[in-house]
Structures are given as structure tokens and as C-alpha cells.
Amino acid sequence: MNKIAFIGVGIMGRSMVRNLMKAGFELHIYARTRSKVEDVISEGATFHDTIADCVKDAEAVITIVGFPTDVEEVYFDAGNILDSAKEGAYLIDMTTTSPMLDQKIAEEGTKRGFHVLDAPVTGGDTGAKNGTLSILVGGSREDYEACMPLFEAMGTNINYQGESGCGQHAKLANQIMIAGTLSGVCEALTYAKAKGLDLQTVLDSVSTGAAGSKQLDTFGPKILAGDYAPGFFLKHFVKDMKLALTEANMSNLNLDVLSQVLANYELLQAEGCGDLGTQALIKYYEEEMDV
């Protein structure tokens, strides 16, 4: 497996493409706007104007796009991957999307002779840049093992979760954990600020104790600096939480924390914060303090 087609060269995808090229893979990419990927083209990736042309000779096709509608488009709309990839290719969806949608892709893809995996990632833009992503894989174990060289070029914590769709379920569990943790960080900082504490001292004091977390380490300093640049878009986190809540409802689960955090983020998105990073949740609490 050497010739790889990559669809979705965004914040995460750009670094993943670079790491695949560093590992010796031949990368063919498609993006809606060529000017946005000129950097990776100059570094050796081959650009194609259509998805069909990009995937036609690839031994593996990797997708990491924005929303479930985008996944539907690249796999099922005119000029799509399923109609254009060569038989026997490995189709790996690394988007965080609906488990049911990836099961649909797997069912249709298997009928057509493809090897289909869902393999969403976690680790943000930093993990993508450093090649240290956690990769959560669903599908056939045999296909998972066959694609291990690809996964190892992009991540370090790579785990088989089970049959098709299980990678997505594991990722949604991850997002539920993040929702609760990051909201806790924001609430704690809001409380400390209201009580007149020095926020940097608070961070230094609690980060190595029982309250320590990667969310605190990653976003605490950014919140204090007023840095809302996206390592992961707020609007994409809203999408992920909605997917998780839908799946929870289907299993008759009442996830109160997830529901409340989603409502807070949706308010921020309605106020035009969708393209900020997830740490912009602190803005919700700042607005509450101003009331």
C-alpha cells in the first residue's frame, strides 16, 4: 500500500498529509479550493480537481471532512468515492460522524469489494502536527491490521474498537468526556475570577493535582491569554455533541451534562463564535458574569 488519496485537507488533514508523506507514502489530494492547499502541494502532494480523479488508482482513500453531510457527499453524490475508487481499495473515514452513516458506507462498500473502516481521531491540531493522534478504529480487524502502517504514520495511540461504527461510538464517548471536562475548567476559572484570585496562580496550583487534565493543560493558558484560535472548531464540537446526544437518546440515556454543555455552545455558535476554538466556551461564562 503506497498510493494514498486524501480528501479533506483542513486543520487536521493538512498535518496528517504531511506525516504520511514523511513516512514515504505517495499522496494524492482533493480540496474544494486549491489555493488553500498550495503549501502541501509544494511539499509533494499531487492535487486533483475532482474526487473521482483523485481516488481512481489509490490503494487507500482517507477522508476527514467537516460534517455528516460532507461525508454523504464524498461517498454517495455524483463523482463519489464508491463509484470511482478501484475495487479492493481501503476506504478509511476519519471524520467524526454518525456511526449509522459509517455503517451505511461499510455495507455499501463491502458489496462493491472495498475494505471499509471508520477511524476518527482525537488529539487536535497539535496531535496531528506531531503525529501523535489517538486513532479509534471500527471495521474488520484484518483490515485494521492491514492499515496499521498508515495509522502509525499519523498517530501513536491506535486501538481497534470493534465492528463498523464502533470507532465512531468511541470517539463520541471521547467528546462527551471533553464536554464535561472543559466546562468544568471554564466554571472553575469563572469562580476563581469572581473571588478575586490570580488565575495563573490557580492554574499552576491545581494542574498537577487531582483536577489536572489535558483540557486544563491545553486550554487553561489560552483562556487566560484570550486566545480563541481554533485547534478544533467550536462548530465541529457542536456537531459532535449533537451526534452523541442523538445516539444517547436512541439508547434511552439521559446525559444531563452533555445536554447543558451543548446548549451553552449552541448559544455561542448563534452569536457568531462557530469558527473559534472550543476554549471559547469561557465566553458563555463571561457573558453570565456581565448580567
Task: Name the residues annotated as catalytic.
Answer: 171
Neighbour tally for 33: CB within 10 Å: 8
Cα–Cα distance, 109 to 90 (Å, whole number):
10
Phi-psi region of 30 (alpha: psi -120 to 50; beta: other; left: phi over 0): beta
The dihedral built from the CA positions of residue 167, 173, 178 and 181, taken in this order, carries a sign that is negative
3-state secondary structure of 279: helix
Are 30 and 7 in contact by the 8 Å Cβ rule? The answer is yes
Are 132 and 123 in contact by the 8 Å Cβ rule? The answer is yes
Helix (H) or strand (E) holding 147: none
Q: How many residues make up the chain in this entry?
A: 291
Cα–Cα distance, 91 to 242 (Å, whole number):
25
* C-alpha 3, offset from chain centre: 23
All three cell numbers of 225, joined, read 491569554
Q: Which amino acid is at 258?
A: L
